[in-house]
Amino acid sequence: MNIRPIRTEKDYDDALDRVDMLMDLDLKLGTKESDELEVLVMIIEKYEEKNWNISEPDPIEAIKIRMQEMQLKQKDLVPYIGNKSKVSEVLNGKVGLSLSMIYNLAKGLHLPLEVLIQPPHKSVY
């Protein structure tokens, strides 16, 4: 087992290749190779987290994407947000989400609270 930190893209690619090779071996838990695989995966995850940190999506964009996925129209959000004009204001970024809206949208549209509670990426006026 020759495990070292991942510092470059080449190191990263080499680690991924080694993981692929180890995964093909149908390893038994507790072996030297299975331990190597476990440690490599942790190192790879840390490298990806550090170098490719992906931020949460904009809450309004997340709502719009979920609307498309569920084939919803603006009027379908009335139970979660309020009246039709309030839905329009929220989706157009004119007003922010209240706590009750966040709760209702998370529950009704199955969106993570972490996405909905962050400030929108666009300015809200």
We report the CATH number of the domain holding residue 75 as 1.10.260.40
Residues 6 or more apart whose Cβ sits within 8 Å of residue 115: 56, 57, 59, 62
Assess if residue 24 is contained within a domain. yes
Same domain for 43 and 63, yes or no, is no
Residues 6 or more apart whose Cβ sits within 8 Å of residue 118: 56, 59
Q: What is the pLDDT of residues 46-80, one digit of tens each?
A: 999 888 876 778 999 999 999 999 999 999 999 99
User: Which residue segment(s) compose the domain that 31 sits in?
Assistant: 9-51
Judge if pTM exceeds 0.85.
no
